[in-house]
Chains A and B, each alone.
Chain A
Amino acid sequence: MRTIWQSLAWKEWHEHKWKLAAILAIVIACVAMVLKNTESSLFSNIQVAILLPIIPLSVLVATSTATSERSRGTLPFLASLPISRRKVATVKLLFGIGSCLLPVLFILLAIYGWSLSWDALGVDYRTSLTVAARNLREPLDFGNWYLALGSAVTLWVVSLFLWTAAIGANRADEVSAAAVALSVIASIWLGLIGIGVWLSDDQLDKWLGQGGAWLAALAFAIAPGGFSLSKELWVLGWLAPAALLLFVVVHSTLAVCFVRHFGRDGDRFIRSHQTATRDSQQIDWLGPPRQSWLTAIAWKQLRESGPVVGAGIGGIAAILGFAILAWARTVRNDVDLRDFISTALFFGCLYLGGFTTLVVGIGVFLRDLSPELHTFWRSRPISPNAWYWIKCATGLTIVFMAFQLPMLLLLPVVASAQQAQHFNGTPDLLRIGMLGVAVFITVFSIAVAVTCLMRNAVYATVLSILAMYGGTMLLVAAVYCYQLITLDERAKYLLDEPQGTWVWLAAMMFATVLANFVAWLALRNDWGRKSRY
C-alpha cells in the first residue's frame, strides 16, 4: 500500500506530467532556434533561449499550483481527506518547481553531451562557452557555464515561483492569481527601479560607497528573481553570506506562508443568506433589460475582459511614470520629452499589450466552457454562432482600442525619433502598422482556439505559445522547401523585407482564419476537453 507521501506524489505527477512535457517542448524549441548559430555567441544565445521562456512559465505553473485546487472545485474534497493540507501544499510546491527545473536540467545535459561530440569533430566552441560564462549574471561563481546557468535558472525559478505561489494562494482562478502576483512583483521591481532612477549615477555610486551597497544587496536578495541578478554586488565579497542568508530566509518564509495558508481561506466568500443580505444594500429596484442580445453579450465580454485590459493599461501607465522620471533624471538635455515618452509608450503597448491580448484571448471562453457554467448559457436561447463572434469581436475591439490604436497613433512619432537617432531612410509606417495589428489579431485568435479546445488556462497559455512558435517554424520550413524544389536562390530572401511583410501578413491571416474556424467549430459543437481536471 502507498504511503501518504507516495499517494500525494502520484497525484501531483499525473497533474504535472503534461506541464513538464510542454515546458520541455517550449525550451527545446527556443534552444533549437539559436543552435544554427555557430559563432562566438552560441552559448550566450542558448542561455537567453532558456531563460526567456522559463521565467514566465515558472510564474504560470506557480499560479496553477496556487489556485488549481480551488478553481476546479476540488479543494473541499482535498480538505476532507485525513491528511494535513501542509503535506499537500509541500508536495504541490516541490512538483511545481520540479516541473520547471527538470526540463532545463535535461537541456543542459543534452547540450553537454552534444558538445562532447564537437570535441571529436574538432569544432571550437570553448571561446563561446567562456564568453557566455563571463557574461552570465549569476551570484554563485562556479567558473563553469553549465553550473552557472543551472544555478541562475534555479534562482530565477525558485524565487519567482515562491513569490507567485505565496501571493496567489487561494485566489479564485489562475488568471486572478497571475494578475495579483504580477502586480505585486511588478510593484516591487518598479519601486527598486524607481529608487535607482531617482538617484543619479554619481549619487548612486556615492551612496553605494557609503554603505548603501548593504541595502542594495539585501534588496536584490529579497526582490522576486533579484538574487540571480546580483553579481555586481556580489563582488563586494563580504556581503555574500548575509545576502545569501537573507535570500534563503525570505524565500523559506514565502514557502512556509504558502504551505500554511494553502486551502485555509479557500472559500472566503461565505455563501449564506445572512451574509448575502447583510453585505448588500437591499435595493428594490431593477434596471431595464439590455436592449438586445447583441448588447447583452458585448456587455458581458466587456465586463470580463475589462479588468485584464485595465491591469495592462495600469502597467503602461506605470511605465509612462517611470519614463518621465527617467527622462528627468538622465537624458533631459539630450532627448526630446515627447519622443522619449512616445517610444516608452509604444514599446509598453507592444510588449504589455501583446501579453494582455494573449490573456484576454484565453479569457474570452475559459469560464463559459467550464463544466459549471457551460450548461447555463447553452440552455438559453442563445445562438452559439452569435455567442462566439460577438464575444470575439468585443474582446478584440477592447484590446485594439487599449493597445493597438495608441501604438498606431504613436508610430509616426516613434519612427521619426528612431530615424533621427539611428536609422537612415524613411521607415514604412503602413507596413509596420499592418504587421503590428496582424500580430495582435493572430495571437488573440490562436489563444481563443487553443482555449476552446483545451479549456484550461495553463495548458492554453503554454500551447498558444507553442502554436505560434510552431506556425513560425512551419513558415520558415515551407520557404526552405520551396527553395529546394524551385532551386531559386532568391527564395531564401522571401521572408526578408520588404516582400517578407506580405508573406508574413498572408501567413498570419491564414493562421487567424484557421484558428477562428477551429474555435468556432469547437464552441458550436462542444468539442474539446470535456473536463478541465
Chain B
Amino acid sequence: MSTPVTSGNSTSDSAIDLQAVYKSFRRTEVLRGVTLRVERGKTFAFLGRNASGKTTTIRMLLGLLKRDDGAIRVLGLDPQREPLELRRRVGYLAEDQTMYGWMKIGEILRFVAPFYPTWDHELALKYVRDFELPIATKIKHLSKGQNVRLGLVLALAHRPELVILDDPALGLDPIMRKQFNRDLITHLQGEGRTVFYSSHLLYEVEPVADEVAILDEGRIVRQADTETLRRDVKQLILGREAFVANRRLLSVLDARSDDERMVVAVDGAAKAMELLRYEGVEFQVVDLNLDEIFEAFVAGRRDDTAASATPQAMLEPSA
C-alpha cells in the first residue's frame, strides 16, 4: 500500500523527493525502497545498469506507473494524484522516443503546444533553428539525431521547471552525443533548470552532472554530488598481505589482485588512507572517473557477493 502524500508546497527546495519507494511487477521486485532527493537547479545523474529500475523510477515520477509503497513528490506534487498538473511543469524525453511519423516537425509543435499553458512558441522556433531541424519535414524522415533533438524541443519549449531525460542519447554516435550534451548545457544548465538525467553511459553525464545517484538491483547504492564522490571513492594499490591484514578497516567496493599487489576501490578514501598511514602501510592512490566509480559500486558488489562464499577467491591472481 502506498504511503499517503499530501499536496505539498511547490516552492520547496527539492524538485524530486522519493521516500522508500517500492515497485513490483507480479513477482519481480523492481524497486526496493528507493530513497533519493534532487535539489532545484541541479543536474542530477541517475545511473544504473540496464534493467536496474531507472525507467520504472522515471515512469513513477511522471505518474505513468503507480508505486506499491513509499512516497513520491515531484515539484511538490504527488504524481499519482496530480499527474496532469505535474506533466504541465515537467519536460520529458523518453528513451528512444518515437513520435507520430506522419506529422511534420511544424505540425507536431503546433499539436503539442495547446496542452502546455506555458508553451512558448517563439522559443520552440528558436530551438528548431538552433538545432537545425527541417521544419517542413515529416518525422519519419528524420535521422536519429534529429529525432532526439526534436524530442528535446518538445520537452523544453514550455519552459519546464524540471526536465527528465531517460537515456536520451541512447543510440546516437559519439559526435551526436557530444553535440547533445553541449545543447543540454547551453539550454538547460544555462537557464538554471533542474535536470534529472538517467543514463548508463557514464562518460556522457560526467561533464554535466552536479550530483549522482547509483541504482543497482532496485536500490540506491550511493548518492552524492560529483565532487564528493570523486573525493570519497578512490583506487588504492597496496601489497597483498597489507590488504589482507587491513581489509576489515576499509570500505572495499572492489578488489582485484595484480601480481603481488592488490588494486582496491574504496569508499571513504580519506579515512582509509589515514588508517593505512597509521598502520604504516605503503600504498599508491589513483583518482577514478565516474565510469570507474560506477563499476566499483555495481560490478564490485556482485564480485563481493560471489567472493563472500569463498573469501580466498578474491585474493587469487586474475587471469
Q: Contact residues of A with B, CB < 8 Å?
A: 269-273, 275-277, 279-293, 295-296, 299-300, 303-304, 367, 372-373, 375-376, 378-383
Determine whether the beta carbon of A277 is less than 8 Å from that of B134.
yes
Of the stretches B45-53, B118-126, B216-224, B270-278, the one at the interface is B118-126
User: In the complex, what residue of chain A is closest to B92 when comparing beta carbons?
Assistant: A379
Complex contacts, B134 vs chain A, CB 8 Å? 276-277, 280, 282
Q: Of B114, B128, B146, which is in contact with the most chain A CB atoms at under 10 Å from its CB? A: B114
Determine whether the beta carbon of A286 is less than 8 Å from that of B145.
no
Contacts A282-B135, A287-B110, A378-B64 aside, 19 further interface pairs with beta carbons under 8 A come to: A270-B141, A271-B142, A276-B141, A276-B146, A279-B137, A285-B135, A287-B106, A289-B121, A300-B111, A303-B103, A304-B102, A373-B98, A373-B99, A376-B94, A376-B97, A379-B64, A381-B86, A381-B88, A382-B115
B107 CB → nearest A CB, Å: 8
Interface residues of B in 57-100 (CB under 8 A from A): 62, 64, 84-88, 92, 94, 97-100
The reply to whether the CB of B245 lies closer than 8 angstroms to some CB of chain A is no
Contact of A289 among B87, B88, B103, B119 (CB under 8 A): B119
Determine whether the beta carbon of A289 is less than 8 Å from that of B141.
no
Q: Give the docked Cα–Cα distance between A295 and B115 (Å).
A: 11
B268 CB → nearest A CB, Å: 39
Determine whether the beta carbon of A273 is less than 8 Å from that of B137.
no
Q: Of A372, A375, A382, which is in contact with the most chain B CB atoms at under 10 Å from its CB? A: A375
User: In the complex, what residue of chain B is closest to A277 when comparing beta carbons?
Assistant: B134
Q: Give the docked Cα–Cα distance between A281 and B141 (Å).
A: 13
Complex contacts, B121 vs chain A, CB 8 Å? 286, 288-289
Determine whether the beta carbon of A273 is less than 8 Å from that of B143.
yes
Complex contacts, B102 vs chain A, CB 8 Å? 303-304
Complex contacts, B62 vs chain A, CB 8 Å? 379
Determine whether the beta carbon of B143 is less than 8 Å from that of A286.
no
**8 pairs of residues in contact across A and B, judged by CB atoms under 8 Å:** A269-B141, A271-B140, A272-B143, A280-B137, A289-B110, A300-B111, A381-B116, A383-B84
Determine whether the beta carbon of B129 is less than 8 Å from that of A284.
yes
Complex contacts, A300 vs chain B, CB 8 Å? 100, 111
Contact of A299 among B84, B94, B111, B142 (CB under 8 A): B111
Complex contacts, A296 vs chain B, CB 8 Å? 110-115
Determine whether the beta carbon of A290 is less than 8 Å from that of B99.
no
* A-B pair number, CB within 8 angstroms: 112
Q: Give the docked Cα–Cα distance between A283 and B107 (Å).
A: 13
Complex contacts, B140 vs chain A, CB 8 Å? 269, 271
B61 CB → nearest A CB, Å: 10
Determine whether the beta carbon of A288 is less than 8 Å from that of B110.
yes
Determine whether the beta carbon of B64 is less than 8 Å from that of A367.
no
Contact of A271 among B110, B111, B129, B144 (CB under 8 A): B144
Determine whether the beta carbon of A282 is less than 8 Å from that of B99.
no
Complex contacts, B111 vs chain A, CB 8 Å? 290, 296, 299-300
Q: Of A295, A375, A379, A380, which is in contact with the most chain B CB atoms at under 10 Å from its CB? A: A379
Complex contacts, A380 vs chain B, CB 8 Å? 87, 112, 115
B94 CB → nearest A CB, Å: 5
Complex contacts, A281 vs chain B, CB 8 Å? 136
The reply to whether the CB of B109 lies closer than 8 angstroms to some CB of chain A is yes
User: In the complex, what residue of chain A is closest to B104 when comparing beta carbons?
Assistant: A280
Determine whether the beta carbon of A286 is less than 8 Å from that of B98.
no
In the complex where A276-B143, A291-B114 touch, is A376 in contact with B135 (Cβ < 8 A)? no
Complex contacts, B129 vs chain A, CB 8 Å? 284
Q: Of B87, B129, B147, which is in contact with the most chain A CB atoms at under 10 Å from its CB? A: B87
Determine whether the beta carbon of B100 is less than 8 Å from that of A367.
yes
Determine whether the beta carbon of B84 is less than 8 Å from that of A279.
no
In the complex where A271-B142, A381-B84, A381-B88 touch, is A280 in contact with B136 (Cβ < 8 A)? yes
Complex contacts, B128 vs chain A, CB 8 Å? 286
Complex contacts, B119 vs chain A, CB 8 Å? 289
User: In the complex, what residue of chain B is closest to A73 when comparing beta carbons?
Assistant: B98
Q: Give the docked Cα–Cα distance between A290 and B100 (Å).
A: 17
Q: Give the docked Cα–Cα distance between A517 and B142 (Å).
A: 38
Contact of A293 among B85, B99, B109, B114 (CB under 8 A): B114
User: In the complex, what residue of chain A is closest to B133 when comparing beta carbons?
Assistant: A276
Contact of B146 among A273, A290, A382 (CB under 8 A): A273
Complex contacts, A289 vs chain B, CB 8 Å? 109-110, 113-114, 119, 121
B1 CB → nearest A CB, Å: 18
Determine whether the beta carbon of B124 is less than 8 Å from that of A286.
yes
User: In the complex, what residue of chain B is closest to A271 when comparing beta carbons?
Assistant: B143
User: In the complex, what residue of chain A is closest to B86 when comparing beta carbons?
Assistant: A381
Complex contacts, A276 vs chain B, CB 8 Å? 134, 137, 141-143, 146
Contact of B87 among A277, A291, A381 (CB under 8 A): A381
Q: Give the docked Cα–Cα distance between A280 and B88 (Å).
A: 32
B244 CB → nearest A CB, Å: 48
Complex contacts, A280 vs chain B, CB 8 Å? 134-137, 141
Q: Give the docked Cα–Cα distance between A291 and B116 (Å).
A: 12
**What 1/0 mask marks residues of chain B from 155 to 179 whose CB sits below 8 Å from any chain A CB?**
0000000000000000000000000
Q: Of A292, A300, A376, which is in contact with the most chain B CB atoms at under 10 Å from its CB? A: A376
Q: Give the docked Cα–Cα distance between A375 and B84 (Å).
A: 14
Determine whether the beta carbon of A283 is less than 8 Å from that of B136.
yes
Q: Give the docked Cα–Cα distance between A381 and B115 (Å).
A: 6
Contact of B113 among A275, A290, A382 (CB under 8 A): A290
Complex contacts, A287 vs chain B, CB 8 Å? 106, 110
Q: Give the docked Cα–Cα distance between A285 and B102 (Å).
A: 19
User: In the complex, what residue of chain B is closest to A285 when comparing beta carbons?
Assistant: B135
A358 CB → nearest B CB, Å: 21
Complex contacts, A372 vs chain B, CB 8 Å? 98
Determine whether the beta carbon of A379 is less than 8 Å from that of B136.
no
User: In the complex, what residue of chain B is closest to A286 when comparing beta carbons?
Assistant: B125
Contact of A373 among B87, B100, B125, B145 (CB under 8 A): B100
In the complex where A284-B129, A286-B110, A289-B121 touch, is A375 in contact with B64 (Cβ < 8 A)? yes
Complex contacts, A275 vs chain B, CB 8 Å? 141, 143
Complex contacts, A375 vs chain B, CB 8 Å? 64, 94, 97
Q: Give the docked Cα–Cα distance between A299 and B108 (Å).
A: 11
Contact of A279 among B94, B113, B141 (CB under 8 A): B141
Q: Give the docked Cα–Cα distance between A77 and B42 (Å).
A: 40
Q: Give the docked Cα–Cα distance between A379 and B128 (Å).
A: 21
Q: Give the docked Cα–Cα distance between A270 and B137 (Å).
A: 13
Complex contacts, A379 vs chain B, CB 8 Å? 62, 64, 87, 92, 94
Q: Give the docked Cα–Cα distance between A304 and B146 (Å).
A: 24
Q: Give the docked Cα–Cα distance between A284 and B131 (Å).
A: 13
B152 CB → nearest A CB, Å: 14
